[in-house]
Amino acid sequence: MEEDELYRKWMRLVENLEREGIIKSEKVKRAFLRVPRYKFVPERYRTYAHVDEPLPIPAGQTISAPHMVAIMLELAELEEGMNVLEVGTGSGWNAALIYELVKRDVYTIERIPELAEFARRNLERAGYKDKVHVIVGDGTKGFPPKAPYDRIIVTAGAPKVPEPLIEQLKVGGKILIPVGSYHLWQELLEVIKISEDNRVKIKNHGGVAFVPLIGEYGWRE
C-alpha cells in the first residue's frame, strides 16, 4: 500500500477516535496526526497499523492499540516543557507522541535490547533521533539521571506501583501505570504524588490489558 493510502486510513482512525470521545483534546489529535503508527510497526503489519488493536513487534511484545495510547495520553495531561519518562519503549511510537506533546527530550527505557534497537531505527526514520532517548535497562527502577519527572508513563502491567518511580516523581507529578495480574488483566492507575515523603493519591481508570512489566520491582521473569 502506498504511503498516501496508509496516511488516509490513519486519518480516518484518528477521526473515529475523536468522534468516540477517546481523543478529547486538539493537542493529542495533532500529535496522532503527526506520528502515524504505520511508521513504527514491522513492515509486514504496515497495512494493519490503522486497525484499533495491538499488533506484534519483535521479541514477542506488542505495540498498543491506538485507543489505549490515546486514553493514557489524555490522562497524562502533558504540557510543553514537561520532563517525561516512559517505561516500555516497544516500538518507540508512544515516546514519539509524547515528544510531540512536550516538545522537549523524552527518555524511554526498554528491557529487551533487540526492541530498543528496533525503536531506535523507527525513531530515526521518523525524525526523532535526537529528541527521544532510548535506554536499555530495567524501567521498574526508573531512570535516576534525568529525575525528577513531571510524568512517568508505564506501558506494561505491574504487580504494584514500583517504589523507585514514586521517588523519581516531582510532587504534583503523576504516574500512569497498569497494575494487576501477570496475564493481560490490569487496572489503569493514575498515581499522583502529594508529598516529598512519597505519599500518593490513586485514581482507578478501569480495566486494561498489557504485557507484563518484568524487573526488580515488577514481575519476576
49 secondary structure, DSSP code? T
For 130, other C-beta atoms within 10 Å of its C-beta total 9
Q: Residue from 28, 31, 35, 63 that binds ligand SAM (CB under 6 A)?
A: 63
When asked if residue 6 is in the footprint of ligand SAM (CB under 6 A), the reply is no
* String marking each residue 142-181 x if it binds ligand SAM according to CB under 6 A: -------------xx-------------------------
Q: Judged by CB, which is closer to ligand SAM: 53, or 201?
A: 53
Based on the residue annotation, tell me whether 64 is a catalytic residue of this protein.
Answer: yes
When asked if residue 78 is in the footprint of ligand SAM (CB under 6 A), the reply is no
* Distance in Å, CB of 94 to ligand SAM, minimum: 3
> Considering 25, 64, 91, 181, which one is annotated as catalytic?
64
When asked if residue 90 is in the footprint of ligand SAM (CB under 6 A), the reply is yes
**By CB under 6 A, what part of segment 192-211 binds ligand SAM?**
210-211
For 21, other C-beta atoms within 10 Å of its C-beta total 8
When asked if residue 110 is in the footprint of ligand SAM (CB under 6 A), the reply is yes
Q: Residue from 39, 46, 111, 120 that binds ligand SAM (CB under 6 A)?
A: 111
Q: Quick one: 28 exposed, middle or buried, by C-beta within 10 A (0-12, 13-18, 19+)?
A: buried
Q: Are strands 169-181 and 149-154 parallel, antiparallel or unpaired?
A: parallel
Please give the backbone phi and psi of residue 63, each rounded to the nearest 5 degrees, phi first: -95, 130
**By CB under 6 A, what part of segment 123-142 binds ligand SAM?**
138-140
Let me know: does 65 contact 91? Beta carbons within 8 Å. no
At 22 the three-state DSSP class reads: coil
Angle, in degrees to the nearest 10, between helices 93-102 and 26-34? 130
Contacts of 212 (CB under 8 A, 6+ apart): 156, 157, 158, 182, 183, 218, 219
Q: Judged by CB, which is closer to ligand SAM: 139, or 180?
A: 139
As annotated, the active-site residues are 64
Q: Which spans of this chain sit near ligand SAM (rule: CB under 6 A)?
A: 61-64, 87-88, 90-91, 93-94, 109-112, 115, 138-140, 155-156, 210-211, 213-215, 218
